[in-house]
Structure 1
Amino acid sequence: MIPSPLTPLVRRITLHLADPARRPLPTITVHTRPTLRGWTFRAALLALVPLLLFTAAARTPGIPHSVTLTIAALATGLVVVHPTPTTAGGVIAVAAVLFWGFTSEPFDPWALAVALLAHLLARTTWWAAHVPPQGHAEIAALLTSWRRDLTVLAATALLGALAMLASGTTVQGAVLLAALAVVGLVLVALATDGSSRDDGRS
């Protein structure tokens, strides 16, 4: 078979069409349900970080207000600029030090309020780390694990209210029941069921 002068041209066109990288991309239209802008998570961190630290420090006498204000300002700036589980965990650790490090009381029911705020901070930081400020996140995605989060927050608030009501009283076995309740809350908080709200790899 004598090659035609058009054979090289036909071969180039065939190779061009067979190469996926050379094919024109199709036009795709995507419709989303109501969304939140990514910067709203960082705006929420602006309120959550100082609220957590001031709530923790308010229960410990002897901490100068200027010290708390400085720590809150530095921690807020760090988490907002660099929202990661590490920075969120560092802020929660500082809140724990402010709450327990300068008092001799064995337990303060307000610790559960601090735990509630810490849980909100950890979740908000996770979303701020995964959604850029200019990005969007569907509200439906935010509510993927709402049952777990609502259980943790409601149970923590209930435990705190009961602890405040029972403050100063002696009930046999109350400490053991409270410890078991806190352990149960931790297990619920750590349960992910493979959902998109998992704090691990994404």
Structure 2
Amino acid sequence: MRLPRLPARLSDVAARPLPQITVETGPTVPGWVLRLALLALTPALLLLAASRSDLAPALVTTVVVACTALLVLRPTPATAGVTVVLAGVFLWGFGARPDGDFDPAGLAVALLAYAVVRATWWATHLPARGRAEIAALTAGWRRDVVVLAATGLLGALALLASDTALPGAVLLAALAVLGLAFVALATGRDARDDGEH
């Protein structure tokens, strides 16, 4: 029995033609749209928070322009965090309400801050000339809705509890805080992985 003769050398891999691959994607969004969203959300967040303070307009304008430019040109979690902290300082650190009442604008600031952080995360991971599927951008929309709804409920409870000394209202607000913390920190198999990049 005679064995077939094998070729002495293998063919060059680089000379072989590449296989044809077809990739289908759903509707996509360009990366510059996320930066455009940051261009609108960042000033809205900071100006709303600053409208409740007695800071000098020149200082507010400088902070708004600097934070917006940083987030649009170099979106990173650190710049988003600094922007959110500055919004909190504007809202609570220099407030024009010395009586300590709950300011309903704080609720809108919290919701805008969440939107800024999420948009920044996506803008960090998607180049301005890149594209992302809408399905990928909305992958964790249920969790986002839960966090935003819980924040709205917490703000409404804080607004109700600010004018009353009823122990039940205070207890309900404390339970809302615990529930929101649980939802924000809970992880599971389908939790969104923001990753470390």
Shared fold by TM > 0.5?
Answer: yes
Matches within 5 A, 1:76-155: 76-103=68-95, 104=98, 105=100, 107-155=102-150
With normalisation by structure 1, the TM-score equals 0.81
* Alpha-carbon displacement from aligned partner over 1:117-157 (angstroms, at most 9, x marks no partner): 11111111110011111111111112211111011112222
**For the structure 1 residues 59 and 194, does the alpha-carbon distance in structure 2 shift closer, same or farther, using more than 3 Å as the test?**
farther
Residue 40 (1) aligns with residue 33 (2): yes
In 1, the alpha carbon distance for the partners of 2:189 and 2:80 equals: 22
Which position in structure 1 is the counterpart of 2:194? 199
Would you say the 8 A contact 1:145–1:197 is kept in 2? yes
Which position in structure 2 is the counterpart of 1:3? none
Residue 28 (1) aligns with residue 21 (2): yes
3-state secondary structure, aligned to 1:11: coil
Q: Sequence identity, in percent?
A: 56
Q: Which runs of 5+ in 2 are unaligned?
A: 1-5
In 1, the alpha carbon distance for the partners of 2:181 and 2:195 equals: 16
Would you say the 8 A contact 2:160–2:169 is kept in 1? no
Which position in structure 2 is the counterpart of 1:73? 65
**For the structure 1 residues 89 and 144, does the alpha-carbon distance in structure 2 shift closer, same or farther, using more than 3 Å as the test?**
same
**For the structure 1 residues 125 and 197, does the alpha-carbon distance in structure 2 shift closer, same or farther, using more than 3 Å as the test?**
farther
**For the structure 1 residues 154 and 167, does the alpha-carbon distance in structure 2 shift closer, same or farther, using more than 3 Å as the test?**
same
Shift of 1:185: 1.7
Shift of 1:38: 0.8
Q: CA RMSD in A?
A: 2.4
In 1, the alpha carbon distance for the partners of 2:59 and 2:23 equals: 50
Residue 57 (1) aligns with residue 50 (2): yes
Which position in structure 2 is the counterpart of 1:11? 8
Would you say the 8 A contact 1:45–1:121 is kept in 2? yes
3-state secondary structure, aligned to 1:199: coil
3-state secondary structure, aligned to 1:113: helix
In 2, the alpha carbon distance for the partners of 1:181 and 1:162 equals: 8
Higher gyration radius (CA): 1
Would you say the 8 A contact 1:37–1:135 is kept in 2? yes
In 1, the alpha carbon distance for the partners of 2:15 and 2:178 equals: 57
With normalisation by structure 2, the TM-score equals 0.83
Q: Which runs of 5+ in 1 are unaligned?
A: 1-6
* Alpha-carbon displacement from aligned partner over 1:47-98 (angstroms, at most 9, x marks no partner): 11111111111122x2122221111110000011111111111111111111
